[in-house]
Amino acid sequence: LHAVLQRHGGLFRRATWEVIMKGVLFPVLDHARADEAPLPSADYPAQPPPAPSSNLVAASWVLSTAPLALSMCLQLVQRFQTRLQHMLPEILDLLESLICQDVESLARVGLKALGTLLMNVEPTVHRSTWDVVCDKLLRCVARCMTLDFEESGAVRWDDHVPLELCASIAGKGADAASGGGRSNDDDDDDDDDDD
């Protein structure tokens, strides 16, 4: 399926891509939520969970099929970005649903895919696309962030962050990724002046 889509995807219309994504690839990922295999989890969020055994990987939809299906979706989005750009909100909703749930292994798979997707979005996409991306990111963070710190108090989430600020931050990230910021060579030149 992946080879056929990669080879012939440029011939598909928007409606065909919607059927492929919503009717074939997204449902594959829905099965990951029903995975009943005992998945490893970390003691602390910053730590990776223990490495699963090869038997567990083979038995778990989350550890075997979900990463492959997500990888295929992301490769298709990257290759056919102009044809699939209209589906970006739905793809982000799918990733949010994988990240913002209780199964840690699935959340980590979704978070890794989100990072890959954002690093591969063309920096030249329309501003409205970045607005959608920033809005979805804020929603995801708001759903997953701990706000109640018991005796220390609670943090109030303000969802009125101007999208202009988000788009500005996203643009700076794209500049840095493309080498638009100061390079390390500039730092070396400063060191030469001190001699």
Give percent above pLDDT 70 in the chain. Answer: 76
> Given this model, what pLDDT does residue 154 score?
74
Q: How confident is the model at residue 19 (pLDDT cuts 50, 70, 90)?
A: very high
Its pTM surpasses 0.75: no
Q: How confident is the model at residue 64 (pLDDT cuts 50, 70, 90)?
A: confident
> Given this model, what pLDDT does residue 167 score?
56
Higher-scoring residue by pLDDT: 185, 9: 9
Higher-scoring residue by pLDDT: 168, 97: 97
d(C-alpha 117, C-alpha 91), whole Å: 10
Contacts 24+ apart (CB under 8 A), 136-142: 136/89, 136/92, 136/93, 136/96, 137/166, 138/166, 139/96, 140/95, 140/96, 140/99, 140/100, 140/114
Residue 179 has pLDDT above 70, yes or no: no
